[in-house]
Amino acid sequence: MFCIDDDVREQVAKMFGRTSKVLDEDVQIVKKWLQTQAHLPELMDEAKIRNFLIMNKCSIEKTKRKIDMYYTARSLIPELYDDSNPKLARMKNLMGKAYCCTHPVPVERMYRVTFIKIKEPNTYTPREMIMQCGNIFEIRLHEDCMIGEVIVMDMDNMTINDMTQLTLSLLMKTRIMYQEVYSLRMKALYFLNSPPYIANLMAIFKTKMKPKLFERVHVSQNSEVLKDLFATEDLPKDYGGKGPSLQQLNEMMQEKLLEYQKRFDELDKLRVDERLRPAKLNNDEILGFYGNFKKIDVD
C-alpha cells in the first residue's frame, strides 16, 4: 500500500548528506546501540530504524532518543496508547463512523496525504482519531519512507461540539506523539469545508504553534485546493477526481490494520523497564508540566 520507488529513497538519503549505503551503515550503528539498551522491550527491525533516521534527518543521536521515546511514550501518555488496538470495539466503531486513511499515492513523489473526515456529527472523539493516526504511523514505520506529512481535515459534518473535545491537554499529548516520538515533518495541514468558527480556533492554535508551522496551515470553505495537490486520476472521487473514494481508502486501511494485528497485540504488552534505564527520565521536561505548554515545533 505504501510503495516507494528506489530512486526516491536515494533522493531522501541525499537530502541529508547520505547515500543508501551510508544510510544502511547508520542503521547498523543504531541497531548495535539498541542491543546495549536493556530497558527497551525489543530489538527494533531495520526498516523501522531506517525510518526513524529519516524522520530525524539521519542524526544518529536524535534517532536514539526518539526510538527510546517510541517505547517510553506508551507508559508516559497512556491516554493515546491504551485501548488503541484496532481490534477493539471503540476503534472498529471509529472506522465505521469516520474516515481516517492515508492515500497510497504520495504527492510530489514523497509526501503522504492522510484524510480525516467524520461521516455524521457527534459520532467520534478526537482521542480515538489521534489513536487511529498512531496505528497508521505504526504500519508506515514498517512499509513507508516517512519524509513528510500532508493532513487533510474535511470539516463537513463536524460540529463545534466535536471541536471543543480537542482540549489543550489532548493537544499537548498529541504534540508528544508527533514531535517527541515521530519527529514528523508537516508539509501542509488543510482544513476543508470549514465553518466560520474555525477562525477562532485557528487563533488559539496560532499561540501554540511555531510560526513556521502555522504558515503551513490552510483554511478553505471548499475542497478546490485538492485539485492542485493531486492529479485527477489520484484525487478521491469525493472531491471530483477519478481516484479511490474515501470509503475505498478506509476499507484499504482496515485491511492493512488487520494484516498487522499481531503487531498491535505485541504493542499492547511492550513497556520500558524503567529500573534498567541508564539515566532517569525527566518527565517534566518532556510533558511540559506546571503550565509550561510547549509550542508545537516543526523542521
DSSP states along 201-220: HHHHHHHHB-HHHHTTEEE-
CATH of the domain at 100: 3.40.525.10
What are the beta bridge partners of residue 188?
150
Contact 189, 215 (CB under 8 A): no
At 294 the pLDDT is: 42
At 118 the pLDDT is: 93
Q: How many domains does the chain have?
A: 1
| pTM for the whole structure | 0.89
* pLDDT (tens digit per residue) in 68-87: 999 999 998 999 999 999 99
**Domain extent at residue 261:** 1-299
At 284 the pLDDT is: 54
Q: Residue 177 gets which letter from DSSP?
A: I
Write out the three cell numbers for 86.
484496532
CA–CA separation, 165 and 163 (whole Å): 5
Residues of the chain with pLDDT under 70: 205-206, 208-209, 282-299
CA–CA separation, 201 and 92 (whole Å): 29
At 129 the pLDDT is: 93
